[in-house]
A and B are shown apart, each in its own frame.
Chain A
Amino acid sequence: MTIITTDTKSVTAPGTGRLLLAYLKRDKLALAAAIFLAIVVLAAILGPWLVGDAASRLGLRQRNLAPFSLGSGWIYVLGADTLGRPILARLIVGAQNTAGIAAAAVFASMLIGGTLGLVAGYSERWYSHLILRLADVVMSFPSLLLALIVLYTLGPSITNLVIVLAVTRMPIYLRTARAEVLELRERMFVSAARAMGAKPARIIVRHIAPLVLPTLVTISAIDFATVILSESALSFLGLGIQPPDFTWGAMVANGRGYLTTAWWIAFWPGLAIMLTTLSLNILSNWARTVADPQQRWRLQTLRKAAR
């Protein structure tokens, strides 16, 4: 997640990084979230190199090994999956594809949807209507059908998967951004900027976007989970990630049939998804506080005067 810096850089450039760190320390929950995300990112980068082999080694005779059974070594603490592979190793290795796909899809949909929404909300020209009706069309278009069409016309690949996910998630950003713009553009400071001769692009980027962004980021943080889970639904069609590659979403889907007998197969990856989403949200709330000058005091030291 990017931290929204409206203009902090211009004034407090030297200390911005340190300041943010201080703000992070003030919010213990956000700090924990940041640490967790850092671990996920590390796993994504180093995972395949660290435990890549273990993650793909078959162990048909220890399928569905229960978690915390110590006999098989630490890598099996979280149990084994339906092919007897250690879940811990798979979680670590899966982080890469999971985070990569979800981040790419969420970011792309937020960027494109948000931009189109800003334009559609600010402008009253023909293209703003066109954008909105296109969004309606995308919303009405079943994502599975889209996936199938992409699969048949473009073939399976991770890029295409990201495209499908991004396109289907786009309308929510578009419409939310637009709704906020509809109100914001009536505000006086927007008129003031126009009166100063600011071009629409500048008004949108400098004045409107910073106020719209927090909501979009909030949505995107939750969308992270949605995207991970719907990615695994698409792999059913052959568009999703294909074995031997896998994601947490695929792991969850894999354990679907085993909830009664081997809960851990779907539970751990589900938990990983949940914790990641949770962390992203906590961090996005934190960023929201940092970005809002009227809320920022919550993270400041607030040195009181002596009395």
Chain B
Amino acid sequence: MSNATNPILKVEGLTVDFLSDDEPVRAVDDVSFHVGHGETLVILGESGSGKSVSTSTVMDLIDCPPGDIVAGSCLFDGVELSDLSAQARRSINGRRIAMIFQDPLAYLNPVYTVGRQIKEVYESHGAGSGKDARAKTIELLRRVGIPEPENRVDFYPHQFSGGQRQRVMVAMAIALKPDILIADEPTTALDVSVQAQILDLLRDLQRETGMALIMITHDLEVASSMADRIIVMNGGKVVETGIAKEVFSNPQHAYTRRLISALPPGNAAEAPNKRSTAIASETLLKVEHLTKHYVLASGAFSGKRTFKAVDDISFEVRRGETLGIVGESGSGKSSVARMLLGLNAPSSGKAVFAGENIFEMNEKRLMAFRRKVQMVFQDPYGSMNPRMRVYSIISEPWAIHRDILSKNRWKARVAELLELVGLLPEHADRYPHQFSGGQRQRIAIARALASEPELIVCDEAVSALDVSIQAQVIDLLADLRTRLSLSYIFITHDLPIVRHFADRIMVMKDGRIVEEGQTSALFGAPRHEYTQSLLQAVPKPKWLTHAQ
């Protein structure tokens, strides 16, 4: 399987800096790896350890300057990539090496339909055009599990759910069956069943075309189910590298050991958890018959078409409680969250927060309400103003609600919050674009915590974090819950995490709640068949399946 002697891609001694007036930031430090035909290399590593930067360098996506490739070589199929002309590299990109980006919303062009953006791959590499390309596009979308691809092909990125966008990215990347696919966290927003489908798709492709796969993931289960070899990165360096099974069963480096130990044991039912201990009986939020229809782009003369994304759901959250929402990608979870925050108007229904219907609040009441409720968005990059420094981003709640914190303490508090989420105080001076995906997500969490709310809606808030930092953040959230009797609505695809953290779980599918119950009860005896399929779809390590 592994073709170490003749790898299709061989990266040697890659070192990448980011330049500015200050000392250069070293993002990648002497990183080497290689991957062969049909092989899967998984890059594990701490959030911010240089995974995305090093793979982007392979595709010539780092702008130099401000980036600076200090050293290193990338041999692709025996050719040194940095020797090639820009034109030659372009013709390799997309056709022979393709990439799935980490933050799908930002990486999709907002003004073009996804169909057009995928079609473009075919057209620019002369692999079909017009009707033919469109048909191929629709077929691709179907393969990545987008419902009604014939219609959806003409939708714009903002009309998709987070997971759907991620699948669009996947579709775009595999369109031309590249020799190497670099997948940067390709399943962070996917529920287990869709995730399995995507992983199967990738495996099929590998079988079919001998595609080499470089997969960056924080998800150890996914890693184990895909990897032939693994490298582990930390602080810009490769700290461990080896055959997947070896690394999992016998980790060498301290960081790797910490990672592997964070993997939940086989039977997680009775593992220690972080569920809350003191839930008040007081109902904080009560949602009744909430419905959301999206109006779909209507031509001037066709009637309005609508899409029912949230269909008559009711639930409640008590003070100090964590409600986990899991469900199929595209089932309306984010839509519910946005409506609760008053960002999208509901089509009908009520949401009573502390005795008052959110949807009928006047400006002033809404202000007061929003102080008590915060949200961590699914697309952290987009949710931060690109012109603001992290300091301003995190301190913004205090600037809005003047009574939270007096101005002279902001600086210290920002530093404190950054440290709580595992970042450095000096990161406060940076801008959002200077961070890695996981780091941005943590900034978003820090901001949500800053205003000391009563309820935080976390939409895939920890999905891009590696297991160790994930654990740190969950601990932090749990701690705040006990101390401040915070409540959470925790939207995630990650079953181990909800199981670990949520008190009650709500399962959504197709805009409806299919099942709801106490965490242990639900995990112990799932009633709905979708829930059952979710719980079963846990990926199995590759070396086990392979052995059969």
- Indicate if A touches B (C-beta under 8 A): yes
Contact in complex: A307, B70 (CB < 8 Å): yes
Q: Does A236 contact B (CB under 8 A)?
A: no
Q: Does B105 contact A (CB under 8 A)?
A: yes
Contact in complex: B367, A189 (CB < 8 Å): no
Q: Does A69 contact B (CB under 8 A)?
A: no
Contact in complex: A195, B375 (CB < 8 Å): yes
Q: Does A196 contact B (CB under 8 A)?
A: yes
Contact in complex: A301, B391 (CB < 8 Å): no
Q: Which of A255-299 contact B (CB under 8 A)?
A: 291-294, 296-297
Chain A residues whose CB sits within 8 angstroms of the CB of B428 once the complex forms: 11
- List 9 additional contacts besides A11-B391, A305-B26; criterion CB under 8 Å: A11-B428, A11-B429, A188-B379, A191-B343, A192-B377, A197-B369, A198-B400, A296-B20, A303-B21
Contact in complex: A196, B17 (CB < 8 Å): no
Chain A residues whose CB sits within 8 angstroms of the CB of B392 once the complex forms: 7, 10-11
Chain A residues whose CB sits within 8 angstroms of the CB of B447 once the complex forms: 196
Q: Does A133 contact B (CB under 8 A)?
A: no
Q: Does A300 contact B (CB under 8 A)?
A: yes
Q: Which of B245-253, B317-325, B349-357, B380-388 contacts A (4 or more CB under 8 A)?
A: B380-388
Contact in complex: B367, A197 (CB < 8 Å): yes
Q: Which of B385-424 contact A (CB under 8 A)?
A: 385-389, 391-392, 396-397, 399-401
Q: Does B451 contact A (CB under 8 A)?
A: yes
Chain B residues whose CB sits within 8 angstroms of the CB of A307 once the complex forms: 70-71
Contact in complex: A304, B17 (CB < 8 Å): yes
Q: Does A193 contact B (CB under 8 A)?
A: yes
Contact in complex: B387, A188 (CB < 8 Å): no
Which one of A10, A188, A294 contacts B431 once the chains associate, using CB atoms below 8 Å?
Answer: A294
| Closest chain B CB from A200 CB (angstroms) | 9
Contact in complex: B65, A11 (CB < 8 Å): no
Which one of A207, A296, A297, A300 contacts B385 once the chains associate, using CB atoms below 8 Å?
Answer: A207
Q: Does A6 contact B (CB under 8 A)?
A: yes
Q: Does A57 contact B (CB under 8 A)?
A: no
CB-CB nearest in chain B for A306? B70
Q: Does B142 contact A (CB under 8 A)?
A: no
Contact flags B341-381 to A (C-beta < 8 A → 1, else 0): 11100000000000000000001001111110111010100
CB-CB nearest in chain A for B343? A191
CB-CB nearest in chain B for A208? B385
CB-CB nearest in chain B for A4? B387
Which one of B386, B401, B434 contacts A197 once the chains associate, using CB atoms below 8 Å?
Answer: B401
CB-CB nearest in chain B for A198? B400
Q: Does B23 contact A (CB under 8 A)?
A: yes
Contact in complex: B65, A302 (CB < 8 Å): yes
Chain B residues whose CB sits within 8 angstroms of the CB of A129 once the complex forms: none
Question: Once the chains are docked, how many angstroms separate the CA of A12 from the CA of B22?
Answer: 13
A sample of 20 cross-chain residue pairs with beta-carbon separation below 8 angstroms, ordered by A number, consists of A10-B389, A11-B389, A11-B429, A192-B375, A192-B384, A194-B342, A196-B397, A196-B447, A199-B367, A206-B385, A206-B396, A211-B387, A293-B433, A294-B433, A297-B20, A297-B65, A302-B66, A302-B68, A303-B23, A304-B70
Q: Which of A176-226 contact B (CB under 8 A)?
A: 186-189, 191-199, 202, 206-207, 210-211
Q: Does B61 contact A (CB under 8 A)?
A: no
Contact flags B66-79 to A (C-beta < 8 A → 1, else 0): 10101100000000
Known contacts A194-B343, A196-B370, A305-B26, A300 near B391 by CB under 8 Å: no
Which one of A189, A198, A202, A211 contacts B383 once the chains associate, using CB atoms below 8 Å?
Answer: A189
The secondary-structure label for the interface of chain B is: mixed
CB-CB nearest in chain A for B431? A293
| Closest chain B CB from A113 CB (angstroms) | 22
Q: Which of B77-118 contact A (CB under 8 A)?
A: 105
Chain B residues whose CB sits within 8 angstroms of the CB of A303 once the complex forms: 19, 21, 23-24
Q: How many residues of B contact A (CB 8 A)?
A: 52
Question: Which residues does A use to contact B, with CB under 8 Å?
Answer: 6-7, 10-12, 19, 22, 186-189, 191-199, 202, 206-207, 210-211, 291-294, 296-297, 300-305, 307
Known contacts A11-B391, A300-B20, A196 near B382 by CB under 8 Å: no
Chain A residues whose CB sits within 8 angstroms of the CB of B371 once the complex forms: 197
Chain B residues whose CB sits within 8 angstroms of the CB of A6 once the complex forms: 387-388
Contact in complex: A187, B431 (CB < 8 Å): no
Contact in complex: B400, A202 (CB < 8 Å): yes
Interface-central residue, A6, A186, A188, A304, by most chain B CB under 10 Å = A188
Question: Once the chains are docked, how many angstroms separate the CA of A22 from the CA of B22?
Answer: 13
Interface-central residue, B158, B366, B385, B401, by most chain A CB under 10 Å = B385
CB-CB nearest in chain B for A211? B387
Chain B residues whose CB sits within 8 angstroms of the CB of A206 once the complex forms: 385, 396
CB-CB nearest in chain B for A189? B385
Q: Which 4 A-B residue pairings sit nearest by Cβ, starting from the closest?
A: A197-B370, A188-B382, A297-B66, A293-B431
Which one of B21, B26, B396, B451 contacts A300 once the chains associate, using CB atoms below 8 Å?
Answer: B21
Contact in complex: B26, A189 (CB < 8 Å): no
| Closest chain B CB from A125 CB (angstroms) | 12
Chain B residues whose CB sits within 8 angstroms of the CB of A193 once the complex forms: 385, 396
Question: Once the chains are docked, how many angstroms separate the CA of A302 from the CA of B22?
Answer: 8
| Closest chain B CB from A201 CB (angstroms) | 11
Question: Once the chains are docked, how many angstroms separate the CA of A74 from the CA of B65?
Answer: 49
Chain B residues whose CB sits within 8 angstroms of the CB of A19 once the complex forms: 21
Contact in complex: B19, A188 (CB < 8 Å): no
Contact in complex: B391, A210 (CB < 8 Å): no
Contact in complex: B389, A210 (CB < 8 Å): no
Which one of B23, B379, B389 contacts A7 once the chains associate, using CB atoms below 8 Å?
Answer: B389
Known contacts A10-B392, A303-B19, A292 near B387 by CB under 8 Å: yes
Which one of A22, A195, A198 contacts B374 once the chains associate, using CB atoms below 8 Å?
Answer: A195
Known contacts A189-B385, A192-B383, A195-B343, A297 near B396 by CB under 8 Å: no
CB-CB nearest in chain B for A8? B389
| Closest chain A CB from B53 CB (angstroms) | 15
Chain B residues whose CB sits within 8 angstroms of the CB of A186 once the complex forms: 158
CB-CB nearest in chain A for B396? A196
Contact flags B1-33 to A (C-beta < 8 A → 1, else 0): 000000000000000010111011010000000
Known contacts A189-B384, A198-B400, A297 near B391 by CB under 8 Å: no
CB-CB nearest in chain A for B340? A195
Chain A residues whose CB sits within 8 angstroms of the CB of B399 once the complex forms: 202
Interface-central residue, B21, B363, B369, by most chain A CB under 10 Å = B21
Interface-central residue, A7, A22, A207, A307, by most chain B CB under 10 Å = A7
Which one of A188, A198, A211, A294 contacts B396 once the chains associate, using CB atoms below 8 Å?
Answer: A198
Question: Once the chains are docked, how many angstroms separate the CA of A188 from the CA of B432?
Answer: 14
Which one of B68, B374, B379, B429 contacts A304 once the chains associate, using CB atoms below 8 Å?
Answer: B68
Question: Once the chains are docked, how many angstroms separate the CA of A206 from the CA of B158?
Answer: 24
| Closest chain B CB from A232 CB (angstroms) | 38
Question: Once the chains are docked, how many angstroms separate the CA of A195 from the CA of B447?
Answer: 12
Contact in complex: A188, B66 (CB < 8 Å): no
Question: Once the chains are docked, how many angstroms separate the CA of A10 from the CA of B411?
Answer: 10
Contact in complex: B389, A188 (CB < 8 Å): no
Question: Once the chains are docked, how many angstroms separate the CA of A191 from the CA of B334?
Answer: 13
Question: Once the chains are docked, how many angstroms separate the CA of A187 from the CA of B158?
Answer: 10
Question: Once the chains are docked, how many angstroms separate the CA of A193 from the CA of B396?
Answer: 8
Interface-central residue, B343, B367, B379, B387, by most chain A CB under 10 Å = B387
Contact flags B424-456 to A (C-beta < 8 A → 1, else 0): 000011010110000000000001000100000
Question: Once the chains are docked, how many angstroms separate the CA of A204 from the CA of B46?
Answer: 37
Known contacts A293-B433, A302-B66, A305-B68, A196 near B386 by CB under 8 Å: no
| Closest chain A CB from B323 CB (angstroms) | 18
Chain B residues whose CB sits within 8 angstroms of the CB of A292 once the complex forms: 387
